[in-house]
Amino acid sequence: MAEFLSLIDQIPVGFLYVGLGIGAAIENVIPAVPADTFVALGGFLSAFGPLDIRLIFAVTWSLNVGSALVMYRLGYTRGRRFFMQGWGQRVLKDHQMDRMTRFYERWGTWAIFWTRFLPGLRAVVPIFAGITQQQVVPVAVPLAAASAIWYGTLIWLGALTGHNLEVLSAILTRTSSVLAAIAVLALLVVIHWWWRTKNDEPDE
């Protein structure tokens, strides 16, 4: 623990903020990167100073939301075209795209909100919101709200554990395991829907 803190002390404060922000943002591009770990670690480090807990929240939250909206925008401008031709058309048929669009129009706000708590899915759902041509405000509001709640909680937990990195690691491991299990179940539902509907007749 002392060696870890000694190493952190050698890193300029500005670089720590940048590193935590990039760690929180990159998950929306590479879902395997655990953004939650960076956010909770920021809260943990705030217990020792000189990191400010409010600035940690502002940096990690804003960069995470910003990168998610960038991916949404890429889906909005380029995703539909990908699934309308070639290999992409084989993955997602036109009638499946239409049904997905109707799903987002009806349930998209809550789907975006709740999946922000689920690893992996939180990176995918905004992209498909863009692909189905959802407007930016109904996407950005639940995305930003859920991320604020989740990141605020993680930073609070990190700060609360104080000098015990092992306790924080154990909490994150248990929490991540439960959320990952929920994400897998949700993904299985989506895969089942895709398989069941891929050979359906086109919608009228």
- Residue 176 in this model has a pLDDT that exceeds 90: no
Q: What does pTM read for this prediction?
A: 0.86
Let me know if 155 is exposed, middle or buried by CB neighbors in 10 A (0-12, 13-18, 19+): buried
Which DSSP string corresponds to 48-99? Answer: TSSS-HHHHHHHHHHHHHHHHHHHHHHIIIIIHHHTTSHHHHHHS-HHHHHH
Would residue 130 count as lying in a domain?
A: yes
Q: Decide if 130 contacts 79 (C-beta within 8 A).
A: yes
Q: Decide if 27 contacts 35 (C-beta within 8 A).
A: yes
Domain span at residue 177?
A: 12-197
Longest alpha-carbon distance in the chain = 66
pLDDT, position 203: 57
pLDDT, position 88: 75
Would residue 4 count as lying in a domain?
A: no
Would residue 5 count as lying in a domain?
A: no
- pLDDT tens profile 79-116: 888 887 777 777 888 888 889 999 999 999 999 999 99
Question: What is the average pLDDT value for the chain, to the nearest integer?
Answer: 87
Number of domains in the chain: 1
The residue to which tokens 């709640």 are assigned: 149
Would residue 46 count as lying in a domain?
A: yes
The residue to which tokens 């939180």 are assigned: 122
Among 77, 63, 41, 71, CA closest to 159: 41
Contacts of 22 (CB under 8 A, 6+ apart): 63
Would residue 204 count as lying in a domain?
A: no
Instruction: Give CA–CA dist 167/88, Å, rounded.
Output: 45
User: Nearest 5°: CA angle at 37, between 53 and 45?
Assistant: 35
- pLDDT tens profile 21-38: 999 999 999 888 888 888
Would residue 103 count as lying in a domain?
A: yes
Would residue 2 count as lying in a domain?
A: no
Would residue 88 count as lying in a domain?
A: yes
